[in-house]
Amino acid sequence: MKYKFHSSKTLKNYNYLNLVLFSFLLINLQKCTFGNSNSGNVAPNKTVFSKTRNTINQITLKPEMIYSNCGCFGASPFANIVDEQSAQMARSEFNLPGDMRYNKAQFIIDLKALHQLTEISIFELAGGWRGKDTVFIYTGNPAKWISKGYITAKRDKDQWATISINDSSRFVMLEFNIKIKDVEEVVLFGTKIGEIDSIIPVISSNRSLPTMDKLMGATGGLWENENLLSCIGSLREFHSWNWNDGGNDENNFNHPIQGFEPYPNNFFRFNPDFGNRHTDADYKRITDKGIELNPCLQTSAMYFINGDNENNKPVFAESDANKPLSYKAHADYLFQYTARYGSKKVADSLLRIDRKRNGIMKEFQPVVSGLNLVKSIENWNEPDKWWHPNASYFTPFQFAAMCSADYDGHEGTMGKNVGVKNADSSLKFVMGGLASLNIDYVKGMKLWSKYNRTKTKNIPVDVLNFHHYCNANGGVGQPTIGISPEQDKLKEKLKKVVEFRNKELPDLEVWLSEFGYDTNEGSSQVSPAIGENSTLEIQGRWLMRSILEIAAAGIDRAFIYNFDDYGFNTSTQYLTSGLVGGAPKNLKKISWYYMACLKNILTNYSFYKEIPSGQIDINIYAFKSKIKKETIYVVWCNTSSNKEIYNYNLTIKSLGMATLYKPEANDLLFTKTNIQQQGNGFKIDKITELPIFIQVD
Band (217; pLDDT cuts 50, 70, 90): very high
Whether pLDDT at 278 is above 90: yes
Residue 181 pLDDT > 80: no
The percent of residues in the chain predicted with pLDDT above 70, rounded, is 90
pLDDT at 15 over 70: no
Whether the CB-CB separation of 327 and 401 falls below 8 Å is answered with yes
pLDDT at 334 over 90: yes
Q: Is residue 14 very low, low, confident or very high in pLDDT (cuts 50, 70, 90)?
A: very low
pLDDT above 90 coverage of the chain, percent: 76
Of the pLDDT bands very low, low, confident and very high (cuts 50, 70, 90), residue 12 is very low
- Nearest C-alpha neighbor of 379 from the set 465, 303, 268: 465
Alpha helices (H) in 474-534, listed in sequence order: 490-504
Residues of 57-66 as b/e, b for ≥16 C-beta within 10 angstroms? ebbebeeebb
- As a whole number of angstroms, the distance between CA 381 and CA 298 comes to 6
Q: What is the pLDDT of residue 456?
A: 84
Question: What stretch of H or E contains 409?
Answer: helix 396-412
What is the model's pLDDT at position 407?
98
Contact 374, 341 (CB under 8 A): yes
Q: Could you report the per-residue pLDDT of 360-398, keeping only the tens digit for each?
A: 999 999 999 999 999 999 999 999 998 888 899 999 999
Q: 412-447 pLDDT, tens per residue?
A: 999 999 999 999 999 999 999 999 999 999 999 999
Query: Residue 642 in 3-state DSSP?
Result: coil
What is the per-residue pLDDT for 5? 39
Q: Please write the tens of the pLDDT for every residue from 134-174.
A: 889 999 999 999 999 998 878 888 999 999 999 999 999 99
User: For the chain, which domains are there?
Assistant: 11-192 (2.60.120.260), 605-696 (2.60.40)
341-363 per-residue burial string, b: 16 or more CB within 10 A, e: under 16: bbbeebeeeebbbbeeebbeeee
Decide the pairing of beta strands 618-625 and 645-650: unpaired
pLDDT in tens, 448-494: 999 999 988 889 999 999 999 999 987 777 789 999 999 999 999 99
Residue 24 pLDDT level (bands cut at 50, 70, 90) = very low
Task: Could you list the beta-strand ranges (E) of 37-143.
Answer: 48-50, 58-59, 66-68, 94-95, 104-124, 134-141
Using pLDDT thresholds of 50, 70 and 90, give the confidence band for residue 43. Answer: low
Inter-axis angle of helices 439-452 and 396-412, nearest 10: 40
Segment 511-569, tens digit of pLDDT: 999 999 999 999 999 999 999 999 999 999 999 999 999 999 999 999 999 999 998 88
Residue 131: what pLDDT? 66
Predicted local distance difference test score (pLDDT) of residue 134? 83
pLDDT value of residue 200? 65
At 504, the amino acid letter reads E
Q: What is the pLDDT of residue 262?
A: 95
Contact 291, 377 (CB under 8 A): no
**C-alpha count within 13 angstroms, C-beta hemisphere, residue 376:** 26
Band the pLDDT of 671: cuts 50, 70, 90: very high
Computed over every residue of the chain, the mean pLDDT equals 90
Residue 105 has pLDDT above 70, yes or no: yes
